[in-house]
């Protein structure tokens, strides 16, 4: 466990010593503030469009950061040959994977907290009330979302040689699942038989990432998702994360390194 | 005496990905054992298979056939690496960390208690003479300085067996001298050192035993003194003769 | 390293947002045309697409996010979004309300457990922005839509309806309508809405009358060749899908004019408008009642007719 945390710490250190996070955060802040400064019919209580834009930016930034970081981890270890001194220590490859995952996940969690604090500030300045619980829920679900994504990307990174192609493929896969995944059943029902079963099978196999995106509820002040539902969604996400991490380990376990 | 490092009938083939290419035989039927307290020189021309052998010992590369063990534990078990220190041949470390942070990280991996870690880091940094640069990120280091960091990390857990792949490459004369001193000191402390090198003069002075590898096969193995007596020559001449080097006549 | 590429891609996608937001700012500073031309040059016809997107977005907001996706093909999205204004001031609203409820029940029964479970995570119940002041939330998207496609008339009328009717921002509504009129000088819809503003908010009947009369003239002028036939087609079948909106606005204009004239005591003029109305109204019996009433009053004028 110590080893895993030590590895995670290195990932986090790397992330905050790089410029990515700062660039994305400052961009988000700038764009949101710019939108906020526009006077729309002299009404300064309009807030939902701001929430909407800010959340969109948060989602894009978090996705880019998580995918970029996770895709880079293992290939960079191999390319820079840092994996050799590391694995020469009593560290198993499973621990390397777990540590890399944990590092990416914790780092993105920390980034999310910063982003959501900013969102809270912007909204509170207009609404004069704090919808703390819905923000916390949105943050938590997005974090679970990122766990699945990071595990998926790590899996990709032991399959595809180049990190950039892995990142691109991962982003495409994630975005298509995110936006189309929930509609595959509708599509399947419109197809003839062989296709129908195939699409339905895919529908049941893919992780339903769209669940974790409750921006709609946050933007429109809809009620909270119930705790049970939230917990079940977390379990579902954890299961997929586990599956992807296990697959990563299977592929990486016996891979010759050079 | 129980053997610390044992290699039996080791054979390693690299499978080339390019279509139509055959496999490349890097190590062929290698048998080797190293006893505790020995300094063992692992010699051979470029491409002989030294690094490949070490990679097998550390579990990076799987043996095609044969076996290898450290402290009597199969090298595929991570626990076999608990008491070894390793210096890779081309050293690169996390560039964004400082030397101190890097050593702290590796100490944590070994589960060394915190108080001891700090003491050890101070010692090692002094040993490899990186005092002025210890708080700078590694990306700002010169090649030789990186090699020194590598040496320090190999010693972080106070290992019983050191596996060093060309420890003096990239070092200045003082650095080389220092490495020789370190090896000597480790030997005096009863540690075992297994290292590869192209510096035959150096090997001659520090090694108890040597092995010369050529094209993946073990050509000669024995105590340095015995070999020199047998061949009536110094190590360099022996080496050249074994790999079949014919001097080109210059007129 | 993939990171720079992503940042670049992100920057590009955000450029658009930025451009439109700058556009918003420009408007708050001055209603400048240079930026308008620039944006037009840069984005060309894509503007219209985006304008439509943002207009729909306003409608999505109006439903608090409950909106059919392109996959819910069974459901006809309330495409022209007229209901955004009509729901609240239609007298026959009850019927329409039901229609709308039915149209918006696009989700249906959950198809499987994933579908059922997933409904907890997005807006899956139908609702409107009913709380006082909440309607302001749709305004930014309408503003954006108008900036991108100044020729889209609904944008102005919908925004003005909410601004003056529910948010008490009559001046802003008037300004926005006039902006729309500058971009679409022949729009009878905007003229009608402007008339409503004068009549309901400023209680200025004479300006309202002028505006509505102008609107009526514009309605008749527009597409002058086809007008008579449009009316004729309507009178024959009463259900010609593509001209329905046109007829609706015509009806509204003449109804308002009739009411105004009646209120002002010009019964003869009121009768004239009612007679036009009865020909196109979907409920001619009701209009006929009004006509009969007017005729009665004309036959026996009260002792002191109200003068203006
Ligand atoms: N990944 C690989 N795929 C294919 N062949 C390889 C691979 N790695 C090494 N080889 C080959 O295996 C042989 C042994 O290489 P190795 O690196 O062990 O040599 P070495 O003795 O360490 O040489 P040097 O003194 O140059 O470090 C070489 O012929 C090399 O070309
Ligand atoms: Mg080598």
The pLDDT mean for chain A works out to 87
pLDDT at B131 over 80: yes
Cβ of A41 within 8 Å of Cβ of C172? The answer is: yes
Cα A98 from Cα A242, distance rounded (Å): 10
Say which DSSP state B98 is in: B
Ligand 1 pocket, A258 CB below 6 A? yes
Please tell me the predicted confidence (pLDDT) of residue A146: 94
Per the CB < 8 A criterion, the answer to whether C116 and C110 are in contact is yes
**Between the CA of residue A239 and those of A69, A234, A236, what are the distances in Å?**
22, 9, 5
Please tell me the predicted confidence (pLDDT) of residue C164: 83
Structure tokens at A141: 């679900």
* Residue C106 sits at the chain A interface (C-beta within 8 Å): no
Say which DSSP state B10 is in: E
Ligand 1 pocket, B28 CB below 6 A? no
For chain C, the DSSP string reads: -HHHHHHHHHHHHHHHHHHHHHHHHHHHH---SHHHHHHHHHHTTHHHHHHHHHHHHHHHHHTTT----TT-TTS---TT-THHHHHHH-TTHHHHHHHHHHHT--S-S-SSHHHHHHGGGS--S-----STTGGGGGHHHHHHHHHH-TT-HHHHHHHHHHHHHTS--HHHHHHHHHHHHHH-TT-HHHHHHHHHIIIIIS--HHHHHHHHHHHHHHHHHTTTTTHHHHHHHHHHHS--GGGHHHHHHHHHHHHHHHHHHHHHT-HHHHHHHHHHHHHH-S-HHHHHHHHHHHHHHHHS--SS----
Please tell me the predicted confidence (pLDDT) of residue A247: 94
* Cα of B22 from ligand 2 centre, angstroms: 22
Ligand 1 pocket, B52 CB below 6 A? yes
Please state the atom number of ligand 1 nearest to the C-alpha of residue B55.
Answer: 18
Please tell me the predicted confidence (pLDDT) of residue C1: 43
Q: Is residue A21 part of a domain?
A: yes
Longest dimension (CA), chain B: 66
Structure tokens at B23: 């496999």
Please tell me the predicted confidence (pLDDT) of residue C240: 53
* Cα of A251 from ligand 2 centre, angstroms: 27
Over range B230-235, report the average pLDDT: 83
Q: Is residue A258 part of a domain?
A: no
Cα A247 from Cα A244, distance rounded (Å): 5
ipTM surpassing 0.95: no
Over range A202-214, report the average pLDDT: 87
Cα B198 from Cα A118, distance rounded (Å): 59
Contact residues, chain A, for B108 at CB < 8 Å: 2-3, 5-6
Task: For Cα atoms B73, B77, B78, give the angle at the middle one, nearest 5 degrees.
Answer: 115
Per the CB < 8 A criterion, the answer to whether C193 and C161 are in contact is yes
Over range B104-128, report the average pLDDT: 91
Task: Looking at mean pLDDT, say which of B103-117, B164-178, C17-31 comes out highest.
Answer: B103-117
Q: Which residues of chain C have pLDDT under 50?
A: 1-2, 25-33, 73-81, 87-95, 308
Structure tokens at C152: 């889209």
Over range A4-25, report the average pLDDT: 88
Ligand 1 pocket, B21 CB below 6 A? no
Domain of residue A48: give its range: 2-252
Over range B27-37, report the average pLDDT: 90
Longest dimension (CA), chain C: 91
* β-strands B84-87, B161-165 pairing: parallel
Please tell me the predicted confidence (pLDDT) of residue C97: 55
Structure tokens at C271: 């009768």
**Between the CA of residue A43 and those of A26, A48, C137, C140, C146, what are the distances in Å?**
26, 13, 10, 10, 17
Size of chain C in residues: 308
Burial class (CB in 10 A: 0-12, 13-18, 19+), C209: buried
Cα B59 from Cα A254, distance rounded (Å): 9
Structure tokens at A135: 């923000």
In angstroms, how far is the first alpha carbon of chain B from the final one?
54
pLDDT at B35 over 50: yes
Cα C288 from Cα C275, distance rounded (Å): 8
Please tell me the predicted confidence (pLDDT) of residue C82: 52
> Helix or strand or coil: residue B84?
strand
pTM: 0.83
% of chain B exceeding 90 in pLDDT: 22
* Residue B139 sits at the chain A interface (C-beta within 8 Å): no
Cα A101 from Cα A4, distance rounded (Å): 9
Burial A218-244 (b: 16+ CB within 10 A, else e): bbbbbeebeeeebeebbebbeebbeeb
10 Å Cβ neighbour count for A251?
A: 14
Cα C217 from Cα C195, distance rounded (Å): 14
Please tell me the predicted confidence (pLDDT) of residue B21: 66
Which spans in A160-226 are helix H? 163-180, 184-189, 193-205, 215-219
> Helix or strand or coil: residue B11?
strand
Say which DSSP state B4 is in: S
**Between the CA of residue A110 and those of A3, A28, A66, B171, what are the distances in Å?**
21, 16, 12, 42
Which spans in chain B are helix H? 50-57, 99-110, 114-127, 143-154, 173-188, 200-206, 224-231, 235-242
Q: Is residue A257 part of a domain?
A: no
| Residues 53 through 72 of chain C touching chain A, CB cutoff 8 Å | 61, 64-65, 69, 71-72
Q: Is residue A156 part of a domain?
A: yes
Report the DSSP beta bridge partners of residue B7: B32, B68
Distance to chain C for A143, nearest Cα, Å: 15
Structure tokens at A253: 């376990």
pLDDT at A35 over 60: yes
List residues in chain A touching B: CB distance below 8 A.
2-3, 5-7, 9-10, 13-14, 17-18, 80-82, 84-92, 254, 256-258
Which spans in B16-113 are helix H? 50-57, 99-110
- Helix-strand-coil percent breakdown of chain A, rounded to 5? 80, 0, 20
Cβ of B101 within 8 Å of Cβ of A13? The answer is: yes
* Residue C111 sits at the chain A interface (C-beta within 8 Å): yes
- Which of B23, B51, B194 has most ligand 1 atoms within 8 Å of its beta carbon, as the pocket-test mutant? B51
Please tell me the predicted confidence (pLDDT) of residue B240: 87
Ligand 1 pocket, B55 CB below 6 A? no
Structure tokens at A130: 């704090």
Cα C277 from Cα B183, distance rounded (Å): 108
Please tell me the predicted confidence (pLDDT) of residue C78: 47
- C287 versus A28: which is more confidently predicted? A28
- Using only C-alpha atoms, what is the Rg of chain A? 20
* pLDDT tens digits along B144-161: 888 889 989 999 988 999
- Where do we find the tokens 């106070």? B158
Cα C207 from Cα C211, distance rounded (Å): 6
Instruction: Write out the residues surrounding ion ligand 2, Cβ under 5 A.
Output: B 51, 89
Structure tokens at B227: 């070999």
% of chain A exceeding 90 in pLDDT: 31
Burial C100-139 (b: 16+ CB within 10 A, else e): beeebebbeeeeeebbebbbbbbbeebebbeeeebbbbbb
Strand ranges inside A1-132, DSSP E? none
Cα A148 from Cα A213, distance rounded (Å): 13
Domains of chain C and any CATH numbers: 34-106+118-149 (no CATH), 186-300 (1.25.40.10)
Q: List, in order, residues 6 or more apart from C162 with CB less than 8 Å away.
A: C85, C135, C136, C138, C139
Per the CB < 8 A criterion, the answer to whether A150 and A66 are in contact is yes
Per the CB < 8 A criterion, the answer to whether C138 and C62 are in contact is yes
Please tell me the predicted confidence (pLDDT) of residue C227: 62
Task: For Cα atoms C207, C210, C212, give the angle at the middle one, nearest 5 degrees.
Answer: 110
Please tell me the predicted confidence (pLDDT) of residue C226: 60
Phi, psi of B6 (to 5 degrees): -135, 125
Number of domains in chain A: 1
pLDDT at B247 over 50: yes
- A33 versus C24: which is more confidently predicted? A33
Please tell me the predicted confidence (pLDDT) of residue A186: 80
Please tell me the predicted confidence (pLDDT) of residue A248: 93
Among A25-39, A155-169, B8-22, B227-241, the range scoring the smallest mean pLDDT is B8-22
- Among C1, C61, C71, beta carbon nearest to A48: C61
* pLDDT tens digits along A107-128: 999 999 999 999 988 888 887 7
Separate counts of helices (H) and strands (E) for chain A: 11, 0
Please state the atom number of ligand 1 nearest to the C-alpha of residue B216.
Answer: 14
């Amino acid at each position: 466990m110590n080893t895993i945390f030590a590895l995670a710490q290195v990932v986090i250190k790397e992330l905050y010593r790089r410029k990515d996070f700062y660039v994305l955060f400052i961009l988000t802040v700038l764009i949101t503030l710019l939108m906020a400064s526009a006077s729309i019919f002299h009404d300064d209580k309009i807030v939902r469009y701001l929430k909407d834009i800010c959340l969109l930016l948060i989602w894009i930034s978090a996705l880019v950061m998580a995918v970029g970081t996770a895709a880079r981890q293992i290939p960079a270890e191999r390319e820079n040959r840092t994996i050799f001194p590391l694995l020469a220590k009593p560290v198993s490859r499973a621990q390397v994977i777990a540590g890399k995952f944990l590092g990416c996940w914790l780092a993105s969690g920390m980034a999310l907290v910063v982003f959501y604090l900013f969102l809270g500030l912007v909204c509170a300045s207009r609404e004069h009330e704090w919808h703390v619980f819905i923000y916390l829920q949105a943050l938590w679900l997005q974090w679970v979302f990122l766990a699945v994504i990071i595990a998926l990307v790590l899996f990709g990174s032991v399959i595809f040689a180049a990190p950039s192609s892995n990142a691109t493929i991962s982003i495409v896969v994630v975005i298509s699942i995110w936006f189309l995944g929930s509609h595959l059943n509708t599509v399947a029902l419109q197809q003839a038989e062989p296709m129908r079963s195939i699409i339905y099978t895919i529908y049941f196999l893919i992780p339903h990432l769209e669940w974790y995106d409750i921006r709609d509820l946050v933007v429109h002040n809809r009620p909270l998702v119930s705790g049970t539902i939230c917990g079940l969604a977390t379990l579902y996400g954890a299961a997929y994360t586990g599956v992807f991490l296990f697959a990563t380990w299977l592929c990486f376990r016996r891979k010759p390194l050079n | 005496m129980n053997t610390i490092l044992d290699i039996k009938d080791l054979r390693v083939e690299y499978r080339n990905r390019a279509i139509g290419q055959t496999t490349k035989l890097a190590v062929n039927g290698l048998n080797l054992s190293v006893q505790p307290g020995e300094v063992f020189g692992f010699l051979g021309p470029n491409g002989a298979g030294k690094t490949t052998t070490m990679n097998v010992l550390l579990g990076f590369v799987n043996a095609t056939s044969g076996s290898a063990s450290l402290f009597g534990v199969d090298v595929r078990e991570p626990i076999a690496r608990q008491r070894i220190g390793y210096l890779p041949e081309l050293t690169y470390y996390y560039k964004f960390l400082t030397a101190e942070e890097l050593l702290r990280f590796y100490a944590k991996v070994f589960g060394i208690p915190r108080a001891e870690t700090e003491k050890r880091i101070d010692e090692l940094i002094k040993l490899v003479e990186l005092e002025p640069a210890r708080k700078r990120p590694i990306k700002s280091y010169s090649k030789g300085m990186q090699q020194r960091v590598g040496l320090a990390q190999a010693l972080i857990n106070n290992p019983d067996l050191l596996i060093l792949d060309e420890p003096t490459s990239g070092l200045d004369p003082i650095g080389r001298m220092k490495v020789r001193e370190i090896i000597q000191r480790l030997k005096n402390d009863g540690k075992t050192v297994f290292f590869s090198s192209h510096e035959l003069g150096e090997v001659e002075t520090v090694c108890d035993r040597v092995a010369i590898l050529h094209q993946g096969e073990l050509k000669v193995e024995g105590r340095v003194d015995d070999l020199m007596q047998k061949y009536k020559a110094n190590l360099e001449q022996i080496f050249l003769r074994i790999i079949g080097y014919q001097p080109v006549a210059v007129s | 390293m993939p990171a720079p590429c992503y940042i670049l891609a992100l920057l590009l996608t955000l450029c658009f947002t930025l451009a439109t937001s700058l556009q918003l700012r420009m408007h708050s500073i001055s209603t400048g045309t240079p930026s308008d031309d620039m944006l037009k040059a840069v984005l060309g016809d894509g503007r219209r697409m985006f304008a439509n997107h943002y207009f729909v977005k306003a409608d999505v907001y109006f439903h608090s996010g409950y909106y059919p996706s392109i996959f819910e093909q069974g459901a006809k999205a309330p495409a022209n979004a007229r209901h955004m204004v009509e729901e609240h001031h239609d007298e026959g609203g009850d019927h329409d309300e039901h229609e709308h409820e039915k149209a918006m029940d696009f989700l249906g029964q959950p198809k499987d457990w994933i579908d059922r479970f997933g409904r907890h995570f997005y807006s899956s119940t139908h609702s409107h922005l009913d709380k006082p002041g909440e309607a302001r939330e749709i305004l930014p998207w309408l503003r954006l839509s108008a900036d991108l496609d100044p020729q889209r008339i609904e944008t102005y009328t919908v925004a003005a309806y909410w601004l003056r009717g529910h948010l008490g921002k009559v001046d802003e509504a008037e300004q926005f309508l006039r902006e729309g009129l500058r971009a679409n000088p022949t729009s009878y819809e905007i003229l009608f809405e402007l008339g409503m503003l004068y009549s309901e908010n400023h209680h200025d009947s004479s300006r309202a009358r002028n505006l509505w009369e102008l609107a009526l003239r514009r309605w008749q002028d527009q597409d002058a060749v086809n007008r008579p036939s449009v009316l004729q087609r309507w009178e024959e079948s009463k259900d010609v899908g593509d001209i329905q909106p046109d007829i609706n606005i015509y009806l509204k204009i003449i109804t308002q004019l009739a009411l105004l004239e009646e209120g002002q005591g010009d019964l003869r003029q009121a009768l004239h408008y009612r007679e036009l109305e009865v020909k196109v109204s979907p409920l001619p019996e009701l209009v006929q009642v009004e006509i009969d009433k007017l005729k009665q009053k004309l036959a026996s004028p009260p002792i002191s007719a109200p003068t203006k």
